[in-house]
With several copies, the nearest count.
Chain A
Amino acid sequence: MSDNGSVPFQSHYMPNTPAQRAVMLEALGLDSIDQLFEDIPSEHRSPSLNIPPPTSELELRAELEAMAGANRHTGAHASFLGAGVYNHFIPSMVKPLITRGEFLTSYTPYQAEASQGTLQVAYEFQTMVCSLMGMEVANDGMYEGASSLAEAALMACRVTGREEICVLNTVSPTYREVVETYALPQGLKVTTMDAVRPRLPEGAACLLTQYPNFYGYMEDLEAHKVAAQERDALLVVSTDPVAMGMFRPPGEFGADVVTGEGQAIGVPMSFGGPFIGLFATRKKYLRQMPGRIVGRTVDSEGKTGYVLTLQTREQHIRRERATSNICTSQALLALASAICAAALGKQGLRRVAELSYHKAHYAASLIGRVAGYSFPIRGTFFKEFVVKCPASPSVINERLLESGIIGGLDISHVMPDCMLLCVTEMNTRGQIEALAGALSEFSR
């Protein structure tokens, strides 16, 4: 033990020992590994590296637990925070399945015969996304909800050959930012418009909507479809897949592209990622779709099998003319969503949606009775709603935290004194009543 510091560091992740490396070097006719790096300009070779020294798993675990312990999480707190990332039930079978090494540590399934597991899962995922959205085709997933919407806007411009993207002001502000990041540099135009009877300019490529919208309310997709159609623009709808358990899917309203954040089905919130972007469209736009697509086929003996297909759309074949630059996406999370969706199944997804609906409306009914709180938005909401508060939402949230409650999103920068509250099946009646109780301390 005493000579611990002096022995060269041997990593438990790298099998080759110094003795073996010597043998290998000999096979190369070299004296030292440094000789393999001689293409590097000598003045820049082997710089100092100011990184902490190797750490044992035991110590590192303690450090990680301390850092994780410094965060307030839903394991120990009731939470009413949503706004695109949701605390929904994940059945216990999801984790042991997605962490199976064969799923977790395989690459994108380029080598189809050695990747039938991953490929068949992708086909299941595509099927599920189509079902949820009421659409004809879906890809195997994008990064997450916002960039998925941005890609839909780009696709709409390609399909229509136009350059103006119209976005409703009820679409998540962050989603709109991401659309701008993707679209503006290419010279596309992004126009925000009021969600009430929007009128698209001539030459608009698409109308981007969110359903339920950022504030939790159901958009009038029927009207928006008419508005888009008037200009031959595509109707793009960004959704919450859990809402699809009870509400009419965008496909039934004639949506041309449906995107969404898949996180709510089977993926932990993880401070915002990794998540899974949903992307579905009509068959006629198939060859303009971004992302990976898996197809069913047969092998040389006629047996069913699955392969990556329509790859000529993709960057590794089409390069600068690809439909997107996306390569690595979020396959493991698509798997998690597929397992969770299967576990919930036809009855379960509806039940999750309905539980969320009833609980959210119950919360609203309690809060509505507290003097000083009001609902600035009318309409049908799903599991989120906006409350105008008698005090600053950030002050209220601090008070809630003392009761072990993570409060709603402070949206006072867009709607003064307003808070966006979210209630799901994870919130018990006790939690909802505790929330209402704590809020009533601010009543006027």
Chain B
Amino acid sequence: MNTVDNNRKLLMEQSVPGRVGTVLPDLDVPEQPLPGQELLRDEVDLPEITEPEIVRYFTNLSRMNFSIDTHFYPLGSCTMKYNPKINDEAAFLPGFAAIHPQQPVGQVQGALELMHHLQNYLAEITGMAATSLASLAGAQGELCGILMIQKYHRDRGDGDRLKMLVPDSAHGTNPASAAMAGFRVVSIPTDENGNCDLEALKKEATPDLAGMMITLPSTLGLFDPTIVEVNRLIHEAGGLVYADGANMNALLGRVKMGDLGFDVMHLNLHKTFSTPHGGGGPGAGPVCAQPNLQPYLAAPVVEKRAEEGPERFVLSTPEKTIGKVSASHGNFGVLVRAYTYIRTLGDAGLKLVSENAVLNANYILAKLKDKYLLPFDRPCMHEVVLSANWQKAKGVRGLETAKRLLDYGFHAPTMYFPLTVDEALLIEPTETESKETLDEFIEAMRAIDQEATENPELVQNAPHTLPVRRLNEAQAARRPDLRWERKE
């Protein structure tokens, strides 16, 4: 169709010399002498395009996306839940959106108060002693937590604890973060039930052990019942345990990570606390810590002074801080949204989140396990990992199953992750989807299985109904075309 095809013309291809996209004011002060020509540039190669064209272009681009507002989006490990509109409304209030991070604290008490409440809520939810809101995404939270562990060891003269354990099922950011902090990463296998292989773990509990990063529930969607034992083993070996809290949607109000023996963890506000993912961010990855690690939290944190006064809330630097990880205080706009979300749901609502999220996932599990291989036959948490191995036997790969789902109007599950499961399809429905939607999704999954038998080509060549057909990723990587360039 014309509209879609047309819309693939890039801005620079639509540019026409002389067009303007906005009108700026005239200079209202006397003109000042310009610097020497050697400092000035000729012209900037930006498009010349008018407001109507810009609006139509980006509006139509948006229409080529699947999203939570338009589709069921059961992308495992991503917690694609509904993002309430009041959260955005709050973040856009001028008193939040139009304040500068360097204003004296007396001018921004409202913002600091909100951050202080949020720190406390997150500490309470995780059962930890304190929170720093400084880190800007999950991965940066991980880095902070790992640096805290590192500094803790160094401060105790334990600086040659250089080994960090990471389960083989872990999200890629875990080993990457540990490596970024300079640790040697050792992978710990998952046992046949999907839990941590305790024997393997014990073997690695050596004096150079700095700690372990554990995702709970794991990226297999499973709660490891031996978790307390695992944490004990690490502690016994002198290590500390980092919890990747990206999957907290399963556990809100059901268990506190602090109670299980974790020392430090991050939360993904853009998952569990429903701030929109924006096509790839912004997020926020606050870090919560036990008293032992609290002094190491990233700066700044918000403190509330005992006495009333115009500077009741202040920004402070934890005593042994690992430092700053961004120029400001965190992704404040995201924090406002998460705060609004927690206040909306309250204690009762947060508990309902995990109940519904886990029930929804198990319902899918129960309704699909006769058609798709279930690698771990036990109740899952907020997400279920299936395998398309049976379909593969018919000639249809997991990737193709996933792409075919797009034709049915559902976003695909996460594919080929965790890496430990063949042809993995990681399905996370979240609590904001209805039973009706789940039933339709289940029906589609079953229909695709049948298509794999009866008409495998249909599945193999999917998608059929989207703005583009299967894209050539190999070519993209082989001959990188990464920006528009003027044709000579």
Contacts and interface: CB of A to CB of B under 8 A. Distances in A.
Direct contact between the two chains A and B in their complex (CB within 8 A):
yes
18 contacts: A15-B16, A24-B363, A35-B379, A61-B86, A97-B59, A113-B467, A115-B64, A121-B61, A131-B44, A147-B140, A269-B100, A327-B171, A327-B173, A332-B276, A349-B46, A351-B24, A357-B34, A432-B29
B136 interface: yes
B102 A85 contact: yes
A197 interface: no
Given A4-B27, A101-B55, A328-B281, A137 B482 contact: yes
Given A71-B95, A326-B139, A117 B63 contact: yes
Interface in B399-435: 402-403, 406, 411-412, 414, 417, 431-435
A192 interface: no
Interface string A256-287: 00000100000011111111000000000010
A443 interface: no
A9 B173 CA distance: 37
B482 A295 contact: yes
A319 B28 CA distance: 54
Nearest to B298: A181
B201 to A, nearest CB: 18
A175 B324 CA distance: 9
A6 B43 CA distance: 20
A348 B24 contact: yes
Interface string B13-30: 001111111111111111
B435 A16 contact: yes
A244 B359 CA distance: 37
Nearest to B151: A185
Interface residues of A, number: 215
A218 interface: yes
B304 to A, nearest CB: 14
Contacts of A19: 17-18
B483 A126 contact: yes
In the complex, which of the residues A14, A174, A351 has the most CB atoms of chain B within 10 Å of its own CB atom? A14
Contact of B140 (A38, A140, A143, A351): A143
A68 B281 contact: no
B303 to A, nearest CB: 17
B291 interface: no
B444 interface: no
A117 B8 CA distance: 10
4 nearest interchain CB pairs? A272-B328, A101-B69, A68-B95, A332-B278
Contacts of B96: 68, 71, 270-271
A99 interface: yes
A101 B476 contact: no
B83 interface: yes
Interface stretch (A227-235, A246-254, A368-376, A384-392): A246-254
Contacts of B142: 325
A345 B223 contact: no
Contacts of B47: 342, 345-346
Contacts of B34: 357
Contact of B349 (A2, A54, A104): A54
Given A81-B102, A297-B473, A394-B104, A2 B31 contact: yes
Contact of B225 (A41, A95, A292, A300): A41
Contacts of A249: 41
Contact of B8 (A304, A345, A361): A304
Given A102-B63, A106-B279, A271-B329, A73 B95 contact: yes
B209 to A, nearest CB: 16
Contacts of B81: 13
Nearest to B365: A28
A425 B34 CA distance: 16
A60 B59 CA distance: 25
B371 interface: no
A393 B214 CA distance: 48
B326 A12 contact: no
Interface string B37-66: 011110111111111111100110111111
A414 interface: no
Contacts of A312: 477
Interface in A411-430: 425, 428-429
B22 A343 contact: yes
A18 B48 CA distance: 14
Interface string B424-459: 000000011111100000000000000000000000
A169 to B, nearest CB: 17
B477 to A, nearest CB: 5
Interface in B300-355: 322-334, 336, 340, 342-353, 355
Contacts of B222: 39
Contacts of B124: 49-51
B27 A296 contact: no
Given A315-B172, A362-B29, A123 B483 contact: yes
A401 interface: yes
A65 interface: yes
Which of the four size classes fits the interface of chain B? 35 or more
Interface stretch (B106-114, B233-241, B389-397): B106-114
Interface string A345-360: 1111111101101110
A104 B67 contact: yes
Contact of A83 (B102, B138, B431, B432): B102
A47 B324 contact: no
Interface in A22-51: 23-25, 27-28, 33, 35-41, 44-47, 49-51
Contacts of A74: 98-100
Contacts of B125: 49, 51
A44 B325 CA distance: 33
B480 interface: yes
B200 interface: no
Given A115-B66, A249-B41, A273 B277 contact: no
A21 B359 contact: yes
Given A67-B114, A73-B99, 15 more contacts: A12-B21, A12-B50, A16-B431, A23-B435, A60-B86, A75-B95, A105-B80, A108-B277, A110-B414, A114-B71, A174-B327, A272-B328, A316-B172, A343-B21, A345-B19
Interface string A86-114: 01010111011111111111111111111
Contacts of A178: 323-327
Contact of A41 (B22, B139, B228): B228
A123 B111 contact: no
Given A10-B19, A102-B67, A345 B49 contact: yes
A273 B332 contact: yes
A274 B51 contact: no
Nearest to A429: B28
Contact of B80 (A64, A70, A107): A107
